[in-house]
A and B are shown apart, each in its own frame.
Chain A
Amino acid sequence: MTVGGPAERGSFEDEPAGTVALDEVPEGVVLTVGGALDLALAPTLRRTVERAARLRPRLIVIDLTAVTFLASSGMAELVRARRQLRGEVGVRVVATGRLVLRPLQLTRLTDELDIHATLADALARG
C-alpha cells in the first residue's frame, strides 16, 4: 500500500520528486523513501510517519536505501520521528552508502538514531 505520494514540487525544480511509500509488514511498518529527502519531501515524510504511528505498530523502519540526497531538513524529520515516538514505537533507520551516511556522521546523528545497514537487519533485531 503506497500512501505517501510524491511531494509537492515547486515549478522551478527539474529533479524528479522524492517519494515515501508505506508498507505494513508482520514486524511493523516500513516507510521506503526514494530520491532527494530534502525540504520538499520532508513534510511528506512527517505526515507518513504520523500515519504510520496511528497504525500502532511495534516498530517503524524508515528505509533510506534509495535516498539520493539527504538534506538537513530530512535529518531533522528523522530526529523528530525518533523523539516524538520515544517510549511508544521503536523507530529504526536503514542507511547505507556515503550519500546518506556522511551527513548523518557529520551531525553525529549516528549516535542518536538506531541505524541499520539493511532492511532485513532493521526488522530482525528484537
Chain B
Amino acid sequence: MSAMLDTADGPGPDAETLLTALAATVRGPDGRPVPVERVPLDGDAVAALCGAAADGPGVVVPDDDRLAARLPGATAAIVVADRAAGGGVALVARATVDHTHRVAAEAVAAATGGLHRALAGLRAEAAVIGALQSVGRRLTAQLDIDTLVQDATDAATTAVGAAFGAFFYNLVDRFGESYTLYTLSGVPREAFSRFPMPRNTEVFAPTFDGTGTVRSDDITSDRRFGHNAPYHGMPEGHLPVRSYLAVSVISPTSGQVLGGFFFGHPEPGRFTGRHEALAEGIAGYSAIALDNAQLYERERNLTRELSRSMLPEAPAVPGVELVTRYLPASTGHKIGGDWFDVVPLAAGATAYVIGDVVGHGVTAATVMGQVRTAIRSYALLGLAPSEVLRHVSALLDAFADPTFVTCFYAVHTPGDGLVYANAGHLPAVLRHADGTLEQLGEAMAQPLGVGSTFGERTAAFPPGTDLLLYTDGLVESRSRDLTEGIEWLLAAVVGLPRPITGEACDGLVATLTGGAHDDDIALVAVHRTA
C-alpha cells in the first residue's frame, strides 16, 4: 500500500517517499542521477502521456512519441497517477538517461498491480451498488408508467455503457388486449420508427419468454443470429449492433414477462458480467415499479368505470327541463362517491336525489351503487321521503364497516309541489320565478348511517321555478370554507339563465372551482316549465 499514490485518501507522506525514490532512479549513461523536475498533471495530461496504460497501475513510463508530443524537450519521464485527485505528477528529465528508471517503474507497477486491480474492482462494485440503489429508489416511487419506463431505459443504458438502449413493454388495454410499446435511450425515436416490432426470433425469444439474459460480445456472429426472413439479421438502416445485452423484466407478483431491456453497442466485446448484473438489477426494480404502476392504474380505471357505470341517464320528465352533471375530481386521482338520480314515480311524480358517500375509491363507489339502488327501491314502493331515508339509514347501519352518506331527496308531484327530506346534505337551492333564492333543507337531519329519524318539509314548485341540487365539491375546498362557498354559489345562481342550461351548469362549476376541483361534483338542475 505504501507504494501507491492512487488511494482514496490521495497522496500522503508515502507518495512523497515514492516520488523521491523514483526520481533517484533517473540516471545518466554514467550511472549518476540526473536533474529531475516535477510537473503536475491534470487528468487529460495523464491520459495523453500514458494512453491505455493510464487505466493500469499508477506508475507509467510514457513512450517516446507521447513524451515528445506532450512534454517537448524531455528525454524521459515517469508519470505517477493520482486517480483520487484526477491527475498526477510527472518526473521529467531533460538530460540523456539510461534505462534504470524504466526498470524501477516497472518494478513498482508490478508490485502494486494486484492492489490496484483490487481497489479498482472495489470502487466499481461500490459504484454499481450506488447506481442500482438510486435507480431503484427512484423507479419504485414512480406510479406514472410513461415517466417510469423512460427513466428506467435512460438509467439502464447509462449504467451498462451502451451506445443505445430500448425497453419494450407490454400493456393490456381496457378490452383486455395486450399491446407493446417501447422507449429508447441514446438514439432518436426516428432511428427505429421505420422498423416493425421485434418478433420472437431466436435472438429475442429468451428475453420475451423470460428464459434468461442474453449477452453477446458480437451478436452478428452468434449462431442464433440472422435466421429469419425478411431481414436475416438487422434490417437495412438499423443502427449497427455488435455488442448485445438483453434482459427480461418479469413481474414479481404474476411471474409474467412485462417486457425486456435491449442494449447495443457498435463495437464488439463491450458488455461485461458486471454490466449484465447491473442490467438485471435495474430490470428487477423496473418490474416492481411497472407492477405497482399497472395495479394503480387498474384500480383507478376500475373505480372510474364503476362510478360512471352506476350513474344514470336522466330520463325525460314532462313539464321540466333537466340538466344533470357528474364531474370526477379534476386534480389528483381521487374518485369520489357522489351521485345523483332522477326516478319517475307513480302518478306522474318524480324523485330527485343527490348524495355523497364519504371516502374515495372502490369502496365508496360500491357503497354509492348500493345506496342508490336502495333509495330507488324504496322510492318506487311509494314511501314518503322521510321514510325512504329512514329505511336506507337502517340498511347502512347493518353494514359491517360504518358508513356515512349525505343525501337530499325530493319528490315533485305536479299540482302538489315538493316534499323533501335531507340527511346531512348541503341545502338545495330554490330560485323562485321572481328571482329570489331560498335554501331548502338546511341541517334537517344527520347523515344516512348515523341518524335514525328524518324530518320532512314541503315547498311550492310552480312553473318558472328552478331547483338546484349539488354536492360539496362545488362549494367547498381546502382554500375556501363552506359558509363562503355557499354564499358564492347563491350569488352565482342569481345570474343563471332560465331555464338553467347545460352550458350554464358547466360555467357555474368553472366559476366556483376555478377549473380545478379536487373533489368530485354532482349537480342536478330542475326547471319547471309547465
Contacts and interface: CB of A to CB of B under 8 A. Distances in A.
B481 A98 contact: yes
Contacts of B404: 72-73, 75-76, 79
Contact of A39 (B359, B426, B445): B359
Contacts of A111: 446
Contacts of B450: 79, 107, 109, 112
B478 A99 contact: no
A56 B359 CA distance: 29
A100 to B, nearest CB: 9
B359 A73 contact: yes
Nearest to B450: A79
B478 A108 contact: no
Interface in B435-489: 442-447, 450-451, 472, 476, 478, 481-483
Interface stretch (A8-16, A47-55, A87-95): A8-16
B250 to A, nearest CB: 27
A103 B447 CA distance: 12
B402 A69 contact: no
A105 interface: yes
A60 interface: no
Nearest to A73: B358
B223 to A, nearest CB: 48
Nearest to B480: A69
A13 to B, nearest CB: 7
A80 interface: yes
Most buried by A among B143, B402, B481: B481
Given A79-B402, A98-B481, A99-B481, A106 B445 contact: no
B53 to A, nearest CB: 50
Contacts of A79: 402, 404, 450
Interface in B225-272: none
Contacts of B445: 108
B359 A106 contact: no
Interface string A13-40: 1010000000000000000000010110
Interface string B108-139: 00000000000000000000000000000000
Contacts, number: 71
Given A10-B332, A69-B478, A105-B443, A39 B451 contact: no
B356 A72 contact: yes
A102 B481 contact: yes
B360 interface: yes
Interface in A75-126: 75-76, 79-80, 83, 98-99, 102-103, 105-109, 111-112
B333 A10 contact: yes
B402 A108 contact: no
A105 B424 CA distance: 9
Contacts of A76: 358-359, 402-404
Contacts of A12: 331-333
A101 to B, nearest CB: 10
A106 B442 contact: yes
A71 B404 CA distance: 12
Nearest to A38: B478
A84 B331 CA distance: 34
B446 A109 contact: yes
Nearest to B485: A102
Interface string B18-35: 000000000000000000
Contacts of A75: 358, 404
19 contacts: A10-B332, A12-B331, A12-B333, A39-B334, A72-B358, A72-B404, A73-B404, A75-B358, A76-B403, A79-B450, A98-B482, A102-B481, A106-B424, A106-B427, A106-B442, A106-B443, A107-B447, A108-B443, A108-B446
Interface of B: 143, 331-334, 356, 358-360, 402-404, 406, 424, 426-427, 442-447, 450-451, 472, 476, 478, 481-483
